[in-house]
Amino acid sequence: MTIDILTVLPELLTGALDYSIVGRARAQHLVEINLCQLRDYTHDKRRTVDDYAYGPDAGMVLKPEPIFEAVEHLQATGGAYDEIIYTAPDGELLTQALATELSLKPRVLILCGHYKGVDQRVRDHLVTREVSIGDYILSGGELAAAVLVDTIVRLLPGALGDATSALSDSFQDGLVSPPAYTRPENFRGWEVPTILRSGNFPEIAKWQHAEALRLTEERRPELLKQYLARTSLREE
């Protein structure tokens, strides 16, 4: 998989993408991640990529010319993108299901917003998908891009040490994860549940599912409603 990230601040992404699971995936050539400086596609000495917004609102807007030129150049040299994603606060909410879908795309570009965003013509005629990591505003789209890349890369075959690990992640099946324990069995009088030490894997699976249902109802009741609706449809 190839992920190109178009940004005015690639420095914000270098550390986040060089370590842990993403860093190892890059070292193993499971994914190629390229940080592309948007200012390289300007034609003036100041390398300007933004201008004042039309209308009374304050703030600067990323210009369409360097963005279009950058994307066209990258596609001409590397091939067409399966998705051109803009990190936008009003985009579709990033979910585990969306991350799974995007992990199957061979070539993706992520455009990081900045200032007051990008010229609407970029969104109308270039971007194929707009993704938000939550209902709040960041100073730029770089941190959102790092989150998006991490959610995608960890799902690539071989990225995790145990290929089955991602299957038990929160939201992978629409529920939050059940509690997880490790050694020692007894810590300050708090013991690991007996069922997890039983070796009875079918019963452990039942316990984990029940706990996932309980915790989802407690913490994310809206997800439980969606999960129950989906499972009832499958049973019909």
Tell me, what's the pLDDT at 236?
Answer: 57
Q: What is the pLDDT of residue 42?
A: 94
Cβ atoms of 24 and 157 within 8 Å: the answer is no
pTM greater than 0.85 (yes/no): no
Tens of pLDDT, residues 182-234: 999 999 999 999 999 999 999 999 999 999 999 999 999 998 999 999 887 66
Alpha-carbon 32 to chain mean position: 16
The helix or strand, by DSSP H or E, that contains position 208, with its residue range, turns out to be helix 201-219
pLDDT of the residue at 47: 92
152, 98 Cβ separation under 8 angstroms? no
CB 132 within 8 A of CB 110: no
Task: Using CA atoms of 146, 149, 155, 157 in order, give the dihedral in degrees to the nearest 10.
Answer: -120
d(CA 181, CA 165): 15
**Residue 117: which of 78, 80, 93, 144 has the closest Cα?**
144
Q: How far is CA 69 from CA 40, 74, 127, in A?
A: 10, 9, 13
Query: In terms of pLDDT, which residue wins out, 116 or 196?
Result: 196
User: How much of the chain exceeds pLDDT 70, in percent?
Assistant: 93
pLDDT for residue 168 is more than 80: no
11-48 confidence digits (pLDDT tens)? 999 888 999 999 999 999 999 999 999 999 998 888 99
Higher local confidence (pLDDT), 173 or 99: 99
